[in-house]
A and B are shown apart, each in its own frame.
Chain A
């Protein structure tokens, strides 16, 4: 397990080349000899779903952190569940764009690993906190009813007694996770958290030809998050050391030595469909749970087409009614029929608005779904 101090111009041990999307400028490691997975070299960018990926220029590649990852969370969602999740995602959309079908999405599914930093570090500190100990008290509940008198029940309640504690800590902490992407928090918010307990040691062959997102957050930037996570771990351990049931108001002044940074890879699947304007709409799927996230947009063009046809039908009905009304000059009984037919055109005409209104309303709700990842 090789670890390094986090400088970005480090090891070149990961057998992969850096590639970049021509359109969105997202960067990936493409494992292997530089060929882009699956549909090389015309593979689409999992982020924007449209543009081609091209190798990074030499200058940029020189500044990549390319040490092999330490841990990998494997893809765990079954094919059946994936198909069901995608089918659910693609269904129930009013006037869905022609490109938004379960089949098309499944066909475009692309596996992707998102990085997270792991830091190993020695921590030395003095600490202080309030620790809580559970204890039970005996209380009473009483019931009274005329005729029956009082009935008493003894109940036990758990309360917490808080006591101050101070101490020293000299511990080594392995694999404290910190976001390696600026959008990590947003990603976890929409897809849910990953079960890191299932992480496996990295083996080059286990990655296959799956793209790995290149961290856009250097270890220095990720350090505050790592420090917060370390504090949380230390607080929990101090609670255990003090044999307490709770801990609060934890304070420390840590000194960190020998930090070593490695990567943890999180599995996601990406797909995309083209909306009305031909713009790719991204869909992301949690690689462990199958949770799908993406904007489900109805096709306004299809809705307009249906509205237009319905409007024309209404117009035709109205015209027929009008003609019959005119003919009533020759054959009076036709007047009533003509008026009835003309009136019937009104609800049909109003109904013509419905497809547009429905898609407009549906898309407005979907406007909240933004692809931040």
Chain B
């Protein structure tokens, strides 16, 4: 020990006289301004986060400020479910629900922020502002985020392409539908890691075929029966970065469809990533999200247990499951929420701001769909009519009776096949505007 105390240590309380104790200085928590504004240092115009370049860009003079925090990916700090954190999370259930008034430091105007919003653009002077909101537990602030990698223009192109990618949509949709609102928003997510260790026991059915001789009929008879045997096993699974949406304001159906985020791109939270974009605070509390994640984990573990059984016939299944090494993170991930109008109706689209995965509602041209359905079942019906005709003719010309029967049989097969495809098409069409 050359220098004492070493750099980065500070004296802390000691309970015994004659003994001094020094502990590492707690990681400096930056004194955060309540509101961070983004002004170009060159021209004082408003800067905004550029998804294309990954830093702040001034649209006025072209000034560029690179990102301050490098990606940490899966090394991003995770938190355990300590008793204190769980209690704080319970108390924090209402966090973000209060409406906050943001005073613009540029023009002095006041804007009322809706619940859960962390960012704002001043409607009077266009300044981008990020609200550094307080949380009852420091852990319950977003510490990491996945930055936008797709800019609004590319997102718009993706949306256009997607709109015209289905034959079921109106022909004019691709050109006529203007994506009226394309909002980049950081959506809150909880990520969970855990190990599951399960022991299971069940009766597994095995098909056994017996061959017996029936003396009365003097024939051999085959009988298949199920023999149930007890089996047991052990399954261990590791879950890494299981994502659960932290927002109940956005469609969970759409969020699930686009949430293939790559957590390798996680960066430490910095307000500059939020400049000019919307960001939501979580409104699904940690405990509820963890319950959802646990449900998914245990169901997948149960499936793995079932997979260990020697056949798929299982009954009296029971299992016990222990969770260990549980940890969580609160992150925000990029998404574009778009709305467009077509035929007087409003439709929603959501695009993954990192990968470009898209999900949403599309209007359906039901004329096209019904025509397609008709085309699918028509051959069978027409053939059926021909078959009936031939059968009727069979009363006067007996050979045509047999022909009519054959045609009817083929028509029946075609109707069934056409009907299946028709139902699938209708379901798909119905799902296109489902949210």
A144-B302, A165-B21 known; A138-B86 Cβ under 8 A: yes
- A159 and B23 CA atoms in complex are apart in Å by 20
Chain A 62-103 per-residue mask, 1 if CB under 8 angstroms from chain B, else 0: 000000000000000000000000000000000000000000
B19 at the interface (CB under 8 A from A): yes
Chain B 1-15 per-residue mask, 1 if CB under 8 angstroms from chain A, else 0: 100111001001111
Chain B 298-342 per-residue mask, 1 if CB under 8 angstroms from chain A, else 0: 100010000000000001111111111010000000000000000
- A144 and B316 CA atoms in complex are apart in Å by 10
Chain A 152-187 per-residue mask, 1 if CB under 8 angstroms from chain B, else 0: 100010010001111111110000000000000000
Instruction: Tell me what chain A mostly uses at the interface: helix, strand, loop, or mixed.
Output: strand
B208 at the interface (CB under 8 A from A): no
Say which residue of A138, A165, A240, A253 sits within 8 Å of B83 (CB atoms).
A138
A166 contacts across to B, CB distance below 8 A: 1, 4-6, 9, 21-22
Say which residue of A136, A164, A170, A242 sits within 8 Å of B82 (CB atoms).
A136
Q: Is the CB of A167 within 8 A of B20?
A: yes
Q: Is the CB of B16 within 8 A of A240?
A: yes
Nearest B residue to A156 by beta-carbon distance?
A: B83
A139 at the interface (CB under 8 A from B): yes
Chain B 181-208 per-residue mask, 1 if CB under 8 angstroms from chain A, else 0: 0000000000000000000000000000
B80 at the interface (CB under 8 A from A): yes
A142 contacts across to B, CB distance below 8 A: 294, 298, 320-323
Q: Is the CB of A171 within 8 A of B326?
A: no
- A232 and B71 CA atoms in complex are apart in Å by 44
Q: Is the CB of A145 within 8 A of B81?
A: no
Q: Is the CB of A137 within 8 A of B83?
A: yes
B343 at the interface (CB under 8 A from A): no
- A170 and B16 CA atoms in complex are apart in Å by 10
B residues 250-305 near A (Cβ < 8 Å) are 294, 298, 302
Q: Is the CB of B21 within 8 A of A136?
A: no
A237 at the interface (CB under 8 A from B): yes
Say which residue of B23, B315, B326 sits within 8 Å of A165 (CB atoms).
B23
Most chain A CB within 10 A, of B12, B21, B83, B323, is at B21
A121 at the interface (CB under 8 A from B): no
- A140 and B320 CA atoms in complex are apart in Å by 11
Q: Is the CB of B18 within 8 A of A145?
A: no
Q: Is the CB of A126 within 8 A of B4?
A: yes
A159 contacts across to B, CB distance below 8 A: 80
A126-B4, A144-B302, A163-B23 known; A170-B316 Cβ under 8 A: no
A5 contacts across to B, CB distance below 8 A: none
A135 at the interface (CB under 8 A from B): yes
- A181 and B22 CA atoms in complex are apart in Å by 40
- A165 and B12 CA atoms in complex are apart in Å by 10
Instruction: Tell me what chain B mostly uses at the interface: helix, strand, loop, or mixed.
Output: strand
- A84 and B93 CA atoms in complex are apart in Å by 69
Q: What total count of A-B pairs have CB within 8 Å?
A: 103
- A167 and B24 CA atoms in complex are apart in Å by 11
B298 contacts across to A, CB distance below 8 A: 142, 144, 150
A167 contacts across to B, CB distance below 8 A: 14, 19-22
- A136 and B326 CA atoms in complex are apart in Å by 13
A143 at the interface (CB under 8 A from B): yes
A330 at the interface (CB under 8 A from B): no
- A7 and B37 CA atoms in complex are apart in Å by 77
A259 at the interface (CB under 8 A from B): no
Task: Give min CB distance, B101 to chain A, whole Å.
Answer: 37
- A54 and B128 CA atoms in complex are apart in Å by 101
A1 at the interface (CB under 8 A from B): no
Nearest B residue to A124 by beta-carbon distance?
A: B18
Q: Is the CB of B16 within 8 A of A144?
A: no
- A156 and B14 CA atoms in complex are apart in Å by 29
Q: Is the CB of A141 within 8 A of B19?
A: no
Task: Give min CB distance, A125 to chain B, whole Å.
Answer: 10
Task: Give min CB distance, B340 to chain A, whole Å.
Answer: 42
A241 contacts across to B, CB distance below 8 A: 14-16, 19, 21
- A241 and B81 CA atoms in complex are apart in Å by 28
Say which residue of B16, B24, B82, B316 sits within 8 Å of A163 (CB atoms).
B24
A135 contacts across to B, CB distance below 8 A: 82-83
- A152 and B297 CA atoms in complex are apart in Å by 13
- A299 and B294 CA atoms in complex are apart in Å by 71
Q: Is the CB of B319 within 8 A of A144?
A: yes
A169 contacts across to B, CB distance below 8 A: 18-20
- A170 and B23 CA atoms in complex are apart in Å by 18
Q: Is the CB of A168 within 8 A of B4?
A: yes
A139-B81, A241-B14 known; A144-B321 Cβ under 8 A: yes
Say which residue of B1, B16, B82, B323 sits within 8 Å of A126 (CB atoms).
B1
Task: Give min CB distance, B285 to chain A, whole Å.
Answer: 14
- A139 and B322 CA atoms in complex are apart in Å by 8
- A242 and B19 CA atoms in complex are apart in Å by 9
Say which residue of B20, B22, B83, B317 sits within 8 Å of A136 (CB atoms).
B83
A238 at the interface (CB under 8 A from B): yes
Task: Give min CB distance, A237 to chain B, whole Å.
Answer: 6
Q: Is the CB of B19 within 8 A of A237?
A: yes
A156 contacts across to B, CB distance below 8 A: 83
Say which residue of B1, B14, B24, B323 sits within 8 Å of A140 (CB atoms).
B323
Most chain A CB within 10 A, of B20, B24, B315, is at B20
- A128 and B3 CA atoms in complex are apart in Å by 13
A145 contacts across to B, CB distance below 8 A: 317-318
- A145 and B317 CA atoms in complex are apart in Å by 6
A146 at the interface (CB under 8 A from B): yes
B302 contacts across to A, CB distance below 8 A: 144
* Known interface pairs A139-B326, A166-B6, A241-B15; 18 further A-B residue pairs with C-beta atoms within 8 A, sorted by A's residue number: A135-B82, A137-B81, A140-B326, A142-B320, A144-B317, A144-B321, A145-B318, A146-B316, A150-B298, A156-B83, A159-B80, A164-B24, A165-B22, A166-B22, A167-B14, A167-B21, A171-B18, A238-B21
Give 14 pairs: A residue, B residue, CB < 8 Å, sorted on A: A135-B83, A138-B82, A138-B83, A139-B323, A142-B298, A143-B319, A143-B320, A144-B302, A150-B298, A166-B9, A167-B14, A237-B19, A241-B14, A253-B1
Hey, which bits of chain A sit against chain B, CB under 8 A?
Answer: 126, 128, 135-146, 150, 152, 156, 159, 163-171, 237-238, 240-243, 253
Listed from nearest, the 5 A-B pairs whose CB atoms lie closest are A241-B19, A241-B16, A145-B318, A142-B321, A241-B14
